[in-house]
Structure formats: C-alpha cells, structure tokens
Chains A and B, each alone.
Chain A
Amino acid sequence: MKKLTGILSIALFLVFILTPAVNAADLPKVIKIGGQGITSGSKADYGHQMILGAQIAVEEINNSGGILGSKVEMKFMDSELKAAVATKNARYLVKDWGAHFLFGIDSSGISMALAAIMPQLDRILIICHGATHKLNEEAIYKKGLRNTFRMCVPTYQDGILPAMIFKDRPDIKTIASLAAAYSYGYDSWEMFEKTLKKYRPDIEVVAKAEAPFLHMDFTPQLNALMAAKPNLILATPWGGEGLMMLRQAILLGLFEQPWFKVWFQCMGGSIDMAEGLTPDVKAGKFHGKLWGTARYLWNWPDTPRNKAFVAKFRDKFGRFPNYSAANVYTAIYAFKQAVEQTKSLDTQKLIKALEGMKIQAPDGERWIRPEDHQACYTVPAGNYVYDKSVCPNAFLGNLVVVPWKKYFRNPPDYKLP
C-alpha cells in the first residue's frame, strides 16, 4: 500500500484516453467494420489475406459511393488464434471503437466463443474461416445465437465432400487419418468416415494419428500410418503444419508407394499451401496423388466475375486470393446488401435481411440459409497440378464439382428453397 498514489494519476489518464464516444445512430457518416484474424505466428497468412480481401471490398465500396452514401472504415486486429484475445478484440471493436459489423475469425473455438457473446454486443458477426459444424448446427440453430453468420463452407467440405468423391473409387479400400488434434480435425474425420462407410461398408480404417498445434516433426505420425499401408490418407493439419507434413511425407517416400492412391489435404487449396508446395508439385513428387479442397478456389468457376476479382487482387498485391480473402470480401458485400435493403443499422433488422439472402460472391451466388445462417455454395475438390501458362504457383486442377446440396447437412425441419 506504500505508493498507491501513482495509481490515481494512471486512472485519470485512463479516463482521458478511453472514454468512449460512439453509439450507433441510423446510418452515420462513417460505417465502421471491424475484422480480426490470425496475423502472427505460423498461420499469419490467413489473417493477412483477410486484410487484403477486406481492403479491396472497402475500396470498391467507397469508390462507388459507399453504403447508401456512408463511407466505410475498417479496422483489423490480430486474434492470435486465442479465444480470449478474440473476445477482447470484439468487445473493443464494438464497445470502444464503435464497429457496426464484425467479420473474420479463423478457428472453430473462437467462432463458438464469439457466437456466444455476439447477442450481448448486439452486432452481426460474419465468420469467414472458422469451419466447425457445431457453429451452425448447435450454436445458431439449436441455441439460437442468431447474431452470427458464416460466409464459408463448414467442415462438410472437409469431411463429407471427399467421401462423396472417393466412394466411387474402387481402388480405395483402406483409409487412414492424420488429424489436427482439435475439434476441426476430429470433426472432419468423423464426417468423412461416417459418410464413406455409409456408401462403402467394405472400406476399412487401418490407422489413425494426430498432431497438435505447432507440431513440427510429422515423421512419427506418417510412419505409423505407412506401417498400415492405407490407400487414402485424410489430413487436416493446415497452413505451415500441412506444408511440413507433406514435405516429410515426400521424404518418407509415401507417394512412391504403389499401394498409396490418395492424399486428401482438407484445406490444401489454400494459397499459402499452394505457394509452398509449388517446387514439389513442379518436380512431380506427388505423382498426382495429392488432392485438396478449400473454401473458395481462385480458378473456379471460370466466370468473368471471378476472373476480374482474381485479376484485381493480383494487380494490387501480386498474389492470388486465398479463400479467407474472398470470403471476407463477400462478407463485407453481404453486410452492405443487408444495410441497403433495410436502410438501417439495426441488428435485428439486419439479421432478418441476411437470413435467406442471396449474395454475389466472386465464385457465384451464395445463399444464406435462414435456419442456421450458413452460406451455401459449392466448392470443388481437385488434385494438385502445375501449369506455368495458367499460374506461377501450383493449383488444384482436374476439379470435381459436387453441388453443395449433395453434401451439405441440413437442419432437421429444413425445406429446400
């Protein structure tokens, strides 16, 4: 208690700098949108791509007159991939900075944590990367946390889609899992196994391995899997971890094995992976066995709209847009559309407007399912190819398109539109 004196001055200082000044009036001059994603550590590129996507959207909107005349201002923060940081950021963005709308978010855990507090913050959150099916099936549909939407495909993409594709491959009889040791990895595998078994009871799970966050040496896991000689491996570690894992798999000679047919890298279509994999794809190290999908692919569909988006992105940043960029871009446009439709920033009205909304994304129309706030759209899967005339990086080619209606799970009392 000796020197509590200093505290008072600090407290006074605190009041000076932090007294908040904002509250939402109907359509203020500046509409503030707040994003967050992971921009530090080994997955920093996902957040970084979100910033790029958001920058394009904000610039386009402001150049074409803003949202009903209001300029858009964006602030983006580092979620550090921690729920505690993300909730704090969200509170800061809404309560102090005065954000009217939130977007971004990379992980399942953070998605769930934020969905729980969004009603208190009384804002809309559109998640652009976190993929857990628990968000739409449990948090939004069952618990009714209706302030949260998702502008990206859920784990159906990582689990059910590959099952739909490979159920028709008679040469695949044994499968194995290399899971990211958290719910995204477990959920994806569970969906994959369940779906595949439904169509192909003969298929056998021969091995399972898992790796936690920040794992660097995958040889023990790979080795354990290779001992069981699976025809297919479904792998969920993403970003830098996925890249290391694939390099180590090459070194172990996995792709040389005649019994090995398919490596399905769930988020393998991500740009950071594509860039990193390029030398090995170019050298033919994968023998065409590396498959992947993503939550948006820059090379699908081959429409003028998508091409224009990709060209603009490349012009500006010298890279290809990742799905986190495209989804953030779309999310911001969805918000714009909702505001324009309701002519207000009232959260409840915006929720109503977003439910069932059809929005034009770079890759075509997405429909926000009213029951569970899930954006429904198709993303194909493919295997890695390299073609210099198309792209300096490796990319997913030989795309297999399965319409979303065939592999999305539906809410129980759901009727197709």
Chain B
Amino acid sequence: MTWLTNTLVLSINSHRFKLVWLGAFIIFLFILPLFSGDYLLYMVMQMAILCLLSYSVNLLLGYTGLLSFGQAGFYACGAYACGKVLLAGASLLPGIVIGVAVAAIAAIILGFFCVRHTAIYFAMLTLAFGMMIFSLTQKWVNFTGGDDGLIGIPRAALNFFYIFNIKMDTIPAYYYFVIAATLIAIYILYRILNSPLGLIFQGIRDSETRVSFVGISVRKSRLICFTIAGMYAGLGGALLAPLEQTITPSASHWINSTDPIIATLLGGMYNFSGPIVGSVIYFLLKDIIVRFTMNWMLILGIIIIILVLTFRGGVMGAFRAYLLPWLKSRLRQGA
C-alpha cells in the first residue's frame, strides 16, 4: 500500500513521471484496437470529439472567462462543410481542413460582434448566433438537406497526392485517424496556452482593464481566442461527419452546446486536462445511465446538481484540493 501511494505521489509531483503517465496513456490509446471491439473504439472517438468541443468551450470559459452557448454552431459548420466536401467526392484530409476553415471563418465573422461583450451578454449573443446557424441548417434545404440533414457521407480514404492512400472504412482505421488528430490538436492547444498568447488570454480572464493597460488590445486577443475556439469546435464537427456519416440540424442546437460545458465543469475548468477527464466521465456517465434506465434524464440531472453544489472545481479540482493533500499526508506518515 505504501508503495502504491509512494508511486502515486511521486508520479503526481514530478514532471518526468507525468510524462511517463502521459506516454502510457497515449500508448494505451494506440494499442486499444488490438483487444477491443468496434463499439468501444466508436465510443472513444465520440469522447475525443466531445473532448475537442470541451476544449473549445474551456479555451473561452476557463482561460479567457467567456461562457459560450454557441459552440454547437461552429461544430455544425465544421460537420456540414466536411460532409459537403466528402459528399462531393473529395478525400478525407481536404474535408477536415475545409471543415475547420469554414468554422474558423464563421467564428471570425460572428466573433467580431461577440467579443465586444462579456459575461451574460456574451453568452446570450453566442446563443443567438448558434440558433441562427441552427435555423439555417434546418431551412436551407438545398444545401443542408433540411431536417433530414446530410445523409450517407462517405468515410473517404486518407490520401495525400500519391504519397499515401489509407482506407478509412473500418472503425479501427478511422479510430487511429481521430485519435491522432485529437492528440495533435490538444498538443497544439497546450502549446498555445503556455505561450505568450495563452498568457494574454488568461490575463483577460483575470482582468480585462489591466490587460488593456499593458498595451494589448483586448478585443483583438478575444477575437483570436474565439476563432481558435471555433476551429476546435469545427474540427470536432469535421471528425464527426465521416464517423456518423449523417449530420442533422440538431448538431447545432443550443442543447448541444451544453454538453461540452457540463463536461468541462465536470472535469474542472482551470485545469488543462479538465476537459479530457470531464468528457470521458460525462460520456461514460450518460452512456451507462442510458443502458440501465429510461429515466436517464433524472439521474443525470441529479448528478449535475450534486456536482455544481459540491465540487465546483470539477474532478481535477477535487483531486488537487482533497485527494492530493491526503495522499501527501499519507506519504508523510509512512516516512
């Protein structure tokens, strides 16, 4: 037992051990298809996509102090754009890239208006824009297929000129693609958040006026942040389109924006790994509850209420605040 706590505490505190854990986790993700069925892989992909969406939310919420209720709109932009491109017969990479690009453009245009506001006004404006995208996806029947959505999106092969051509029609093949894309995206976000730009985002969260009085344009920085967040949501959507092979307007409904917010709060919003942990737990929670009862909404609702009233720092926050000191004290006693 002491050995276990010992290792745990060590691994938590030292940077090198953290890297070991991370490496183990990534290796685990990559060997998972060797011993698991398709549904587990499918679920991990769904989690990865929710995770991207949660990062998109948390970049705004936890790092820049803005609550967006419209990320589902950008998610849908990415999904529809990617779906359209793939339906036109393109290969996977252009689909994903164009999906992300369309989401980014939408985020720049809408963000221009949104970043002038904060707090509830920002939340309401993003809600309005998200729902405008929703009504477009529903009503622009010629382009979006209306309420039926885009159906039968092919999971096109991943080819890059004549260099490689990888078929994506099996679940494991697409799984590797999604996991790789997600890990790269998360790594890039990690770099961004530790870079000068990320420092500025966090400064804006703490004090907007102070940031403007050290010579940085708050609006411009917020717009950059909003655009990056839009791109992450768009990437999530773009990865979803070939996975589900169907995209319907409900992807852009505001209810869909609440999932990543809940996942983020669940994981802990001031913590880089919060969205990953939150997405995994939230997804499992929902998936498991749905299996056992038709009254999944009641149970999920109660869990969220308890969570908001007790662990506002989320799982990672609670881990840091309670479990970690406890482990340390155990270790000290042992020593």
Whether A and B touch (Cβ < 8 Å) is answered with yes
User: Chain A contacts of B276 at CB under 8 A?
Assistant: 4, 7
Beta-carbon contact of A92 and B294 below 8 Å: no
Q: Chain A contact residues: over half helix, strand or loop, or mixed?
A: helix
- In chain A, what residue has the closest Cβ to B288? A17
Q: Is A182's CB under 8 angstroms from B147's CB?
A: yes
Residues of B contacting A134 in the complex (Cβ-Cβ under 8 angstroms)? 148
Task: Identify which of A5, A18, A112 gathers the most chain B CB atoms within 10 Å of its CB.
Answer: A5
Q: Which of B63-71, B114-122, B203-211, B243-251 lies at the binding interface?
A: B243-251
B151 within 8 A of A: yes
Query: Chain B's nearest CB lies how many Å from the CB of A11?
Result: 6
Contact in complex: A82, B248 (CB < 8 Å): yes
Indicate which residue in B25, B38, B290, B319 contacts A11 across the interface (CB closer than 8 Å). B25
Complex CA–CA separation, A139 to B297 (angstroms): 33
Instruction: Flag whether A258 is at the interface (Cβ < 8 A).
Output: no
Do A19 and B273 touch (CB < 8 A)? no
CA distance in complex: A132, B151 (Å): 14
| A362 contacts B by Cβ under 8 Å | no
Q: Answer whether residue B98 sits at the interface, using C-beta atoms and an 8 A cutoff.
A: no
By size class, the interface of chain B is 35 or more
Interface check A56, CB cutoff 8 A: no
Q: Decide if B40 touches A116 in the complex (CB within 8 Å).
A: no
Residue B167 at the chain A interface, CB threshold 8 Å? no
1/0 per residue, CB under 8 A from A, across B1-38: the answer is 00000001001100000100110110011000001111
Contact residues of B between 260 and 293, Cβ < 8 Å to A? 271-273, 276-277, 280-281, 284, 287-288, 290-291
1/0 per residue, CB under 8 A from B, across A1-43: the answer is 1111111101100110111100000000000000000011000
Indicate if the CB atoms of B36 and A20 lie closer than 8 Å: yes
In the complex, the answer to whether A87 meets B272 with C-beta atoms within 8 Å is: no
Q: Mark A68-84, 1 if CB is under 8 A from B, else 0.
A: 00000000111000111
In the assembled complex, how far is the CB of residue A134 from the closest CB belonging to chain B, in whole angstroms?
8
Q: Are B46 and A10 in contact (CB under 8 A)?
A: no
Q: Which residues of B contact A20 (CB under 8 A)?
A: 36-37, 39-40
Interface of B is mostly: helix
Q: Which residue of A lies closest to B190 (CB)?
A: A1
Q: A20-B40, A96-B40 are in contact. Are A5 and B315 (CB under 8 A)?
A: no
Q: Which residues of B contact A212 (CB under 8 A)?
A: 138
Q: Is A83 touching B37 in the complex (CB atoms < 8 A)?
A: no
A-side contacts of B177, CB under 8 Å: none
Asked whether A164 is an interface residue with its Cβ less than 8 Å from the other chain, the reply is no
A383–B202 CA distance with the chains assembled, in angstroms: 66
Contacts of A77 in B (CB 8 A): 290-291
Instruction: Please report the C-alpha to C-alpha distance between residue A324 and residue B277 in the assembled complex, in whole angstroms.
Output: 40
CA distance in complex: A303, B249 (Å): 44
* Contacting pair A95 B38 (CB below 8 A): yes
Q: Is the CB of A11 within 8 A of B12?
A: no
Residues from chain B with a CB closer than 8 A to the CB of A197 are none
With A5-B21, A95-B38 known as contacts, the answer to whether A83 contacts B316 (CB < 8 A) is no
Q: How many angstroms between the C-alpha atoms of A3 and B8 in the bound complex?
A: 11
User: Given the complex of chains A and B, what is the CA–CA distance between A380 and B215 in angstroms?
Assistant: 76
* A interface footprint on B296-331 (CB within 8 Å = 1, 0 otherwise): 110000000000000000011001100000000000
Q: Known contacts A1-B18, A1-B190; decide if A112 and B151 are in contact (CB<8 Å).
A: yes
Residue of A6, A112, A134 with highest tally of chain B CB at under 10 A: A6
Closest to A5 in B: B21
Residue of B nearest to A83 (CB): B248
Are B149 and A96 touching (Cβ within 8 A)? no
Residues of chain B within 8 A of A8, CB atoms compared: 21, 24-25, 28
Q: CA–CA, A134 to B273, complex, Å?
A: 45
The answer to whether A113 touches B21 (Cβ under 8 A) is no
Return A115 CB to nearest CB of chain B, in Å. Answer: 8
User: Within 8 Å CB of B319, what residues of A?
Assistant: 3, 6
Residue pair B147, A183 in contact (C-beta under 8 Å) = yes
The yes or no answer to B176 lying at the interface (CB within 8 A) is: no
| Contact of B146 (CB < 8 Å), options: A82, A113, A182 | A182
Contact B149 A113 (CB under 8 A): yes
Cα separation A201 to B271 with both chains bound (whole Å): 69
Judge if A194 is at the interface, Cβ distance under 8 Å.
Answer: no
Q: In the bound complex, what is the Cα–Cα distance between A116 and B333 (angstroms)?
A: 60
How far is B30's CA from A11's CA once the two chains are assembled, in angstroms?
A: 12
Of all chain A residues, the one with the shortest Cβ separation from B12 is A5
> Chain A's nearest CB lies how many Å from the CB of B211?
24
Cα-based distance from A400 to B294 in the complex (angstroms): 39
With contact pairs A84-B250, A96-B39, A109-B149 given, residues A14 and B245 touching in the complex (Cβ less than 8 Å): no
Q: Do B11 and A5 touch (CB < 8 A)?
A: yes
**Cβ–Cβ < 8 Å partners of B245 in chain A:** 87, 113, 116-117
Assembled-state Cα–Cα distance A83/B145 (Å): 13
Bound together, the chains give a CA A354 to CA B39 distance in angstroms of 27
Given the complex, which residues of A lie within 8 Å of B43, measured CB to CB? 18
Assess the B246–A116 pair: CB atoms within 8 A: yes
Q: A7-B276, A8-B25 are in contact. Are A84 and B248 (CB under 8 A)?
A: yes
Residues of A within 8 A of B12 (CB): 3, 5
A305 near B: Cβ within 8 Å? Answer: no
Interface residues of B in 125-154 (CB under 8 A from A): 138, 146-149, 151-152
Interface check B112, CB cutoff 8 A: no
With contacts A83-B246, A109-B147, A183-B147 taken as known, whether A4 is within 8 angstroms of B18 at the C-beta atoms is yes
> CB distance A78 to B250 under 8 Å?
no
Q: Are B280 and A10 in contact (CB under 8 A)?
A: yes
| Contact B28 A19, beta carbon cutoff 8 Å | no
Q: Mark A114-143, 1 if CB is under 8 A from B, else 0.
A: 001100000000000000101000010001
Task: Write out the residue numbers on chain A whose beta carbons fall within 8 Å of the beta carbon of B8.
Answer: 5
Residue of B nearest to A93 (CB): B39
Is A113 a contact of B246 with CB atoms below 8 Å?
A: yes
Considering the chains assembled together, what is the distance between the CA atoms of A15 and B24 in angstroms?
15
Residue of B nearest to A87 (CB): B244
Contact A19 B148 (CB under 8 A): no
Whether B146 contacts A14 by the Cβ 8 Å rule is: no
Measured CB to CB, the closest approach of chain A to B191, in angstroms, equals 11
Which A-B residue pairs are the 8 nearest by beta carbons?
A95-B39, A182-B147, A20-B37, A113-B246, A96-B39, A83-B248, A109-B148, A116-B152
CB pairs A–B below 8 angstroms (6 shown): A14-B280, A83-B149, A84-B250, A112-B151, A116-B245, A183-B148
Identify 20 new A-B residue pairs, CB closer than 8 A, beyond the known A7-B277, A19-B37, A83-B250: A1-B18, A1-B22, A3-B12, A3-B316, A7-B21, A11-B25, A11-B28, A14-B284, A15-B36, A18-B36, A78-B290, A91-B39, A91-B42, A95-B37, A109-B149, A113-B245, A117-B244, A117-B246, A139-B151, A182-B148
